[in-house]
């Protein structure tokens, strides 16, 4: 099933439990869930995003992870928890991780939160 990042409008495909998890995340985002509650839901120890990838480098490239992080940060901006310091016209909060930097200890670290 094709889904869309609520912040950037980029499309990506999810199936099964991941699709159900993202639907619940979309419901929470659309209802302006508390920023800390959304963080716990999306990135807490029971989140299925960690089962998708074994390394941090691959995790941050995952469209589901990136969509959740964009949604989480947008909620934070909307609720006054974080400052929106994106350049004019920039939609995503997360930077794209370069190919070849997906293994820990290889290349420069890339932050995926606020710039």
Number of domain units in the chain: 1
Cα(25)–Cα(107) distance, integer angstroms:
32
Where does the pLDDT of residue 114 fall: very low under 50, low under 70, confident under 90, or very high at 90 and above?
Answer: low
Where does the pLDDT of residue 103 fall: very low under 50, low under 70, confident under 90, or very high at 90 and above?
Answer: very low
Cα(27)–Cα(13) distance, integer angstroms:
18
The predicted model scores a pTM of 0.74
Where does the pLDDT of residue 84 fall: very low under 50, low under 70, confident under 90, or very high at 90 and above?
Answer: confident
Question: Which burial class, exposed, middle or buried, applies to 87 when counting CB atoms under 10 A from its CB (0-12, 13-18, 19+)?
Answer: exposed
Residue-number span of the structural domain to which 112 is assigned: 1-115
Cα(79)–Cα(61) distance, integer angstroms:
26
């Amino acid at each position: 099933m094709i889904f869309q990042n609520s912040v950037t409008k980029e499309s990506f495909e999810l199936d099964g439990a991941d699709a159900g998890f993202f639907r619940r995340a979309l419901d929470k985002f659309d209802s302006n869930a508390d920023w800390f509650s959304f963080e716990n839901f999306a990135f807490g120890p029971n989140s299925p995003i960690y089962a998708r990838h074994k390394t941090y480098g691959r995790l941050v490239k995952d469209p589901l992870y990136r969509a959740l992080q964009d949604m989480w940060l947008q909620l934070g901006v909307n609720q006054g928890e974080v400052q929106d310091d994106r350049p004019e016209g920039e939609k995503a909060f997360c930077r794209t991780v370069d190919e070849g930097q997906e293994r820990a200890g290889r290349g420069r670290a890339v932050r995926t939160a606020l710039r």
